[in-house]
Amino acid sequence: MKTLRVGVIGTGGIGRAHAERLTKYIANADVVAVNDINETAAKATAEACGARYEADPIALIHAEDVDAVLIASWDRTHEQFVCETIEAGKFVFCEKPLSNTADGCRHVIEVEQKAGKRLLTVGFMRRYDKGYQQMREVIASGRLGEVLMVHAQHRNAAPTGEKHTTVMSVSGALVHEFDITRFLLDDEYVSAQMILPRSTRNADEDLIDPQMVMLRTKKGIHIDLEIYMNCRYGYDIQCEVVGEEGTVRLPELANIAPMRVDGTRQHKIYTEWYKRFEDAYVYELRDWVDSALEGKAAGASAWDGYVTSAVAEKCTEARLSDSVVKFDLGERPAMYRTTEV
């Protein structure tokens, strides 16, 4: 069996978890080298995965024993590491967001166009979640008639990783919703508006929380998205698609058993984001590895990364101008016209 030798950059919350998933659950992947600006964190992950510690991320990308690179460092580092890996001709998996800016994503697209083939996968793992996949099938089957509206909520108990600001809630977290909704609908966004409810006292001072985003698609579908980073009670992801003939809803609690006890019907709620989508993370990494070994890039592309970051920027523009911002995302290059997952 062929094996993909992976170098990992960034071993905080998700980087370490991805390195361990590759090691434990994905037989045809080996984590061989690990880098993080935090040497202690990198060495701990390297030891857990039987890999070597590499002090220089650029050396890791170019190392002869590294076939492909997984990037899970801070958002603002992604563009540089992704471009370096593509220029080295290697497959790269980059956690979302691809870049903090639409321009940064466009730069990645240019670099990949020059490389002449898709090498990048962006870590929009919800595409691999069985619930969203069922929703997509129902919508595509036409049983709902034409889709009219989507209502979705993204609630975190509290922010994790980098300190969250008003912009980052949208550009770092809500991008998941931007990606999965267009994946469900097979449609593209044309306008954005933001509504700011009263902010919770639990948010840091530079974070307005919650925020509401309204999007409209080319087909005229209305999408309302709530992002609430300090809801306190748990990690809660909801999505309902409303059509002319019916609705379809994301199964709420994958892998959680409901109880009837003490005169009540009850169930736990996820409190950690990584548990809610654990299966999807494993499926996306497996697909990335299998595809790379076949010489292909799986999952969300640089174009998908660009769309989500561009929409995040338009949301900020809409918030600052307190208006509906209309936009045109431009033409999708031929390389990105097929969506397999």
Tokens encoding 126:
């919800």
Closest distance to ligand NAP from the beta carbon of 17 (Å): 8
Q: Does 9 bind ligand NAP (CB under 6 A)?
A: yes
3-state secondary structure of 326: strand
* Segment lying near ligand NAP (by CB under 6 A), choices 6-14, 179-187, 252-260, 329-337: 6-14
Would you count residue 123 as binding ligand NAP (CB under 6 A)?
yes
Among 39, 137, 162, 186, which residue interacts with ligand NAP (rule: CB under 6 A)? 162
Q: Residue 337 burial (CB < 10 Å; 0-12/13-18/19+)?
A: exposed
N residues, the chain: 341
**DSSP-derived secondary structure letter, 300:** B
254 is an interface residue for ligand NAP by CB under 6 A: no
Q: In the structure encoding, which two tokens stand for residue 103, read together?
A: 């321009």
Stretch binding ligand NAP (CB under 6 A), from 13-21, 58-66, 225-233, 262-270: 13-21
User: Could you tell me the smallest distance in angstroms from the CB atom of residue 138 to ligand NAP?
Assistant: 24
Of the listed pieces 9-17, 147-155, 181-189, 299-307, which binds ligand NAP according to CB under 6 A? 9-17
Residues in contact with ligand NAP, shown as a per-residue x/- string from 172 to 191 under the rule CB under 6 A? x-------------------
Q: Cβ neighbours of residue 158 under 8 Å, at least 6 residues apart?
A: 202, 229, 230, 232
d(CA 250, CA 298): 23
Under rule CB under 6 A, residue 58 binds ligand NAP: no
Q: Which amino acid is at 115?
A: A
No. of helices (H) and no. of strands (E), the chain:
11, 15
**49 binds ligand NAP, rule: CB under 6 A:** no
Return the exposure string of 177-213: e unless at least 16 CB atoms fall within 10 Å of the residue's CB, then b.
bbbbbbbbbebebbebbbeeeeeeeebeeebbbbbeb
Residue 154 interacts with ligand NAP (CB under 6 A)? no
Q: Should residue 148 be labelled a site residue for ligand NAP when binding is judged by CB under 6 A? A: no
Q: Is 104 in the site for ligand NAP (CB under 6 A)?
A: no
d(CA 141, CA 16): 39
Answer for which of 19, 33, 36, 90 binds ligand NAP (CB under 6 A) is 36
Alpha-carbon span 194 to 225, nearest angstrom? 10
Q: Which one among 12, 159, 243, 299 touches ligand NAP, defined by CB under 6 A?
A: 12
Residue 65 amino acid letter: D
The mark string for 61-100 relative to ligand NAP (x by CB under 6 A, - otherwise) is -----------xxxx-x-----------------xx----
- Examine residue 287 and tell whether it contacts ligand NAP (CB under 6 A): no
3-state secondary structure of 252: coil
Q: Residue numbers of the site for ligand NAP (CB under 6 A)?
A: 9-15, 35-38, 41, 57, 72-75, 77, 95-96, 123, 125, 160-162, 172
